């Protein structure tokens, strides 16, 4: 269970960043008073354009960064008060989290397994299961730097699931993957959901959200503008598909532009 | 605790499981050091031999009869030429084609033999070029050696009892004139060199690996995966610092070992046997040294990791670490040239005090108070830095995530 209560994240910009984003305002509100609840046994999708605050939200949940205001409970633990407890419960993966290129997939899997205090025999069975599922076995002895993007991403997914986490947080899970690998990843997310895990992902791909998410929260400019399952959102916006619904909401926020 | 050891083991595996790393971190510096020192010493030896083998070219002006024979009798290979053109000879000395010019005044022999009290004493002038090795060697051998003997020979003709003129000699027959504690003397030379080398090697050995340890992980994007694992930030920091300590310790042991082993080759022409390398340490000294070296490795590792934390890339970390390295180099050098007994408060100055104390242990001059102060300051500084690093790990800005 993930419960976000009134979370706000404000970044302070330095001069260079202000210039880059063409603003004179030294603070940037990435997420503004966001609340949401995601329950075990569902795939919750944060949908929004680039820079809407999806990744920031997921990073706050994962304890990598701290929210400026508000509380986040992950499996009953508050992220700022008990960050280690939260990290025990989650598996977090993004496109920019990479595995050490010097080491083999085997080594990294064992390394993170041990960091999670997983007993050796359990580690072995997890490895067998995950490596078989993702087809990693053939290249598990290879160093990460020798792997292709797709292989490395699969390896990273397997490693982040080593401790069989209750909650899986996935930032842009299929970004940069080919169709086949992307499908095997989304299939695995569904399998996790069916096993009763809570999966929360972020995406800007409408079709992906439509296909795999049980519930969708649409974020624009750091604010949640809609939430619900696909039918509810389509019904509320009186539209045919998610893309139209998104643009309907987007127009409301941006004033018809 | 297990988190610390897991991180530490992974960092060690990164270095010790990679043959290229082992070569570049431990062997290459040794090979370069031994190679350069051997080359320098063999070059200096051969230059020295060359100077010794060279036949001096000496021009003489107005030389009295018998001087040439006298000169030949002490320097057989010497080539003696009567000077005909003064300016030409000076040019040759300037160009290194001639080594020495000895100018006797006209009527030198007459002035010597017919000397009466009150007459002006004849003067022999010698000219040489100190920037030419051959010329300088000829000057040393002839101007201050042969001519002095020549003077005494002529003097013996004038005075019957030479001993009566000598009055007394100093140490002409006294082989036991040096009274010193051999152990302390050995320690003096080693005490000058070793702290310098050890502190530098401890730092240099950890530098390359250490800058990569955090900044490299940031750059490669592997840091975040560590940050979402259920271990404390301080465990990550300590794991990394401990592994760096081990690496810097191993590398300095390898370097010092290589230095001692290759000392004869490296010091070939410089009289290696006089260096006092056969210094013997008593168990108390060894214990004090070991404890202090571990503390130094700990502090250095903390400094390097700290720099690495605040850098965004390895390149940036490497340029930040350079001034720190320079500081360590300079502070090491200063202890090589201190003659006065250092003030007590200097033992509270980090880094500098470690060089002082290392030196003090080897010369057996350090007090327990000074040693304790140094050890304490070093450990406390290391611990404070660890705290700062752990704090920095919490900061989103610093970790740039």
Are B144 and B196 in a shared domain? no
> What is the chain B residue with the closest CA to A66?
B396
Mean pLDDT of A145-165: 90
Of the residues B166, B195, B211, the one at which a domain ends? B166
With respect to residue B109, please indicate whether it lies within any of the assigned structural domains. yes
Are B230 and B279 in a shared domain? yes
Are B148 and B291 in a shared domain? no
Domain of B61: which CATH number?
3.40.1710
Mean pLDDT of A172-193: 88
What residues are paired with A5 via a beta bridge?
A: A71
Of the residues B166, B199, B224, the one at which a domain ends? B166
Query: How far apart, in whole angstroms, are the C-alpha atoms of residue A180 and residue A189?
Result: 14
Residues of B in contact with A92 (CB under 8 A): 228
Are B204 and B346 in a shared domain? yes
With respect to residue B246, please indicate whether it lies within any of the assigned structural domains. yes
Are B151 and B187 in a shared domain? no
Domain count, chain A: 1
Are B375 and B277 in a shared domain? yes
The closest CB to that of B228, out of A87, A98, A100, belongs to A87
Query: How far apart, in whole angstroms, are the C-alpha atoms of residue A63 and residue A201?
Result: 16
Domain that holds residue B56: 52-166
What was the pLDDT predicted at B121?
A: 87
Residues of A in contact with B13 (CB under 8 A): 103, 107
Domain that holds residue A140: 2-254
Are B286 and B362 in a shared domain? yes
Residues of A in contact with B396 (CB under 8 A): 64-66
Predicted ipTM of the assembly: 0.86
**Residue pairs spanning A and B at CB distance below 8 A:** 67
Mean pLDDT of A15-20: 80
Mean pLDDT of A165-190: 88
What was the pLDDT predicted at B185?
A: 64
Are B186 and B327 in a shared domain? yes
Would you call B221 and A101 a contact, using CB atoms and an 8 Å cutoff?
A: no
Q: B295 vs B8, B251, B289, CA distance in Å?
A: 18, 16, 10
With respect to residue B176, please indicate whether it lies within any of the assigned structural domains. no
Would you call B222 and A100 a contact, using CB atoms and an 8 Å cutoff?
A: yes
Most A-contacting residue of B8, B19, B229 (CB-CB within 10 A), to test interface: B229
Are B390 and B254 in a shared domain? yes
With respect to residue B391, please indicate whether it lies within any of the assigned structural domains. yes
How many Å lie between the alpha carbon of A226 and the closest alpha carbon of chain B? 28
With respect to residue B216, please indicate whether it lies within any of the assigned structural domains. yes
> Which residues of A make CB contacts under 8 Å with B?
59, 62-66, 84-85, 87-88, 90, 92, 94, 96-103, 107, 111-112, 114-117, 156, 159-160
**pLDDT-derived band of residue A212, with 50, 70 and 90 as boundaries?**
very high
Q: For the segment A68-85, what is each residue's pLDDT rounded down to a tens digit? A: 999 999 999 999 999 999
Are B210 and B280 in a shared domain? yes
Most B-contacting residue of A97, A108, A153 (CB-CB within 10 A), to test interface: A97
Low-confidence ranges of chain B (pLDDT < 50): 269-277
> What is the chain B residue with the closest CA to A89?
B230
Contact B248, B300 (CB under 8 A): yes
What was the pLDDT predicted at B269?
A: 46
Are B341 and B250 in a shared domain? yes
Residues of A in contact with B225 (CB under 8 A): 97-99, 112, 156, 159-160
Residues of B in contact with A84 (CB under 8 A): 230-232
Instruction: Say if strands A43-47 and A198-203 run parallel, antiparallel, or are unpaired.
Output: parallel
Place of tokens 């530490």: B8
What was the pLDDT predicted at B389?
A: 93
More confident site: B21 or A4 = A4
Domain count, chain B: 2
Domain of A138: which CATH number?
3.40.50.300
Q: For the segment A105-145, what is each residue's pLDDT rounded down to a tens digit? A: 999 999 999 999 999 999 999 999 999 998 899 999 999 99
Would you call A100 and B401 a contact, using CB atoms and an 8 Å cutoff?
A: no
pTM score: 0.79
Are B198 and B145 in a shared domain? no
Q: B34 vs A198, B26, B40, B264, CA distance in Å?
A: 61, 13, 10, 11
What was the pLDDT predicted at A6?
A: 94
With respect to residue B254, please indicate whether it lies within any of the assigned structural domains. yes
Of the residues B166, B200, B216, the one at which a domain ends? B166
Most B-contacting residue of A99, A100, A108 (CB-CB within 10 A), to test interface: A100
With respect to residue B173, please indicate whether it lies within any of the assigned structural domains. no
Q: By CB neighbour count within 10 A (0-12 exposed, 13-18 middle, 19+ buried), where does B389 fall?
A: buried
Q: For the segment B181-216, what is each residue's pLDDT rounded down to a tens digit? A: 766 665 566 656 766 777 788 888 889 889 989 999
């Amino acid at each position: 269970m993930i419960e976000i209560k009134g979370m706000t994240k404000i970044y302070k910009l330095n001069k260079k960043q202000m210039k880059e984003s063409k603003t004179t305002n030294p603070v940037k509100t990435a997420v503004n008073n966001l609340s949401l609840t995601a329950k075990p046994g569902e795939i919750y999708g944060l949908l929004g354009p680039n820079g809407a605050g999806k990744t920031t939200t997921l990073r706050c949940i994962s304890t990598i960064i701290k929210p400026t205001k508000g509380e986040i409970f992950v499996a009953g633990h508050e992220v700022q008060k008990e960050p280690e407890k939260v990290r025990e419960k989650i598996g977090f993966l993004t496109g920019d989290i990479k595995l050490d290129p010097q080491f083999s997939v085997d080594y990294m899997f064992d390394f993170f397994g041990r960091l999670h205090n997983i007993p050796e025999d359990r580690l072995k069975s997890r490895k067998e299961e995950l490596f078989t599922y993702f087809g990693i076995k053939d290249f598990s002895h290879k160093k990460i730097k020798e792997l292709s993007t797709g292989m490395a991403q699969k390896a990273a997914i397997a490693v982040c699931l080593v401790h069989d986490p209750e909650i899986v947080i996935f930032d842009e899970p299929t970004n940069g993957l080919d169709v086949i690998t992307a499908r095997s990843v989304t299939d695995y997310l569904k399998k996790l959901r069916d096993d009763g895990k809570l999966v929360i992902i972020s995406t800007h791909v409408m079709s992906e959200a439509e296909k795999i998410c049980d519930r969708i929260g649409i974020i624009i400019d750091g604010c949640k503008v809609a939430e619900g399952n696909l039918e509810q959102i389509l019904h509320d916006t009186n539209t045919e598909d998610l893309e139209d619904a998104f643009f309907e909401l987007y127009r409301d926020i941006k004033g018809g532009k | 605790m297990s988190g610390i050891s897991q991180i530490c083991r992974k960092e060690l595996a990164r270095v010790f499981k990679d043959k290229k790393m082992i070569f570049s971190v431990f062997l290459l510096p040794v090979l370069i050091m031994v190679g350069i020192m051997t080359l320098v010493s063999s070059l200096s030896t051969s230059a020295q031999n060359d100077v010794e083998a060279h036949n001096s070219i000496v021009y003489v002006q107005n030389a009295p009869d018998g001087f040439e024979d006298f000169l030949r009798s002490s320097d057989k290979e010497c080539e003696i030429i009567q000077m005909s053109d003064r300016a030409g000879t000076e040019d040759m000395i300037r160009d290194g084609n001639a080594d020495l010019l000895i100018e006797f005044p006209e009527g030198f022999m007459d002035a010597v033999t017919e000397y009466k009290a009150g007459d002006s004493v004849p003067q022999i002038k010698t000219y040489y070029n100190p920037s030419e090795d051959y010329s300088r060697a000829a000057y040393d051998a002839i101007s201050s050696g042969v001519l002095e003997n020549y003077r005494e020979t002529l003097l013996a003709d004038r005075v019957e009892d030479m001993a009566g003129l000598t009055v007394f000699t100093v140490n002409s027959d006294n082989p036991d004139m040096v009274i010193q504690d051999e152990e302390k003397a050995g320690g003096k030379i080693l005490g000058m060199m070793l702290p310098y080398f050890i502190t530098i090697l401890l730092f240099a050995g950890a530098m390359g690996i250490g800058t990569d340890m955090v900044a490299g992980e940031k750059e490669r994007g592997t840091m975040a995966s560590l940050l979402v694992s259920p271990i404390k930030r301080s465990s990550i920091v300590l794991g990394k610092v401990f592994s760096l300590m081990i690496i810097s310790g191993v590398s300095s042991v390898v370097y010092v070992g290589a230095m001692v082993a290759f000392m004869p080759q490296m010091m070939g022409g410089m009289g290696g046997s006089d260096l006092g390398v056969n210094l013997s340490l008593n168990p108390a000294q060894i214990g004090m040294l070991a404890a202090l070296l571990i503390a130094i490795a700990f502090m250095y590792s903390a400094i390097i990791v700290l720099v690495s934390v605040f850098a965004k890339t390895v390149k940036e970390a490497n340029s930040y670490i350079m001034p720190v390295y320079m500081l360590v180099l300079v502070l090491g050098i200063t202890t090589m040239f201190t003659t006065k007994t250092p003030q007590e408060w200097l033992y509270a100055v980090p880094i500098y005090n470690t060089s002082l104390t290392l030196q003090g242990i080897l010369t057996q001059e350090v007090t327990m108070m000074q040693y304790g102060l140094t050890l304490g300051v070093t450990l406390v500084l290391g611990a404070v830095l660890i705290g700062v690093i752990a704090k920095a790990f919490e900061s989103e800005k610093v970790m740039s995530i």
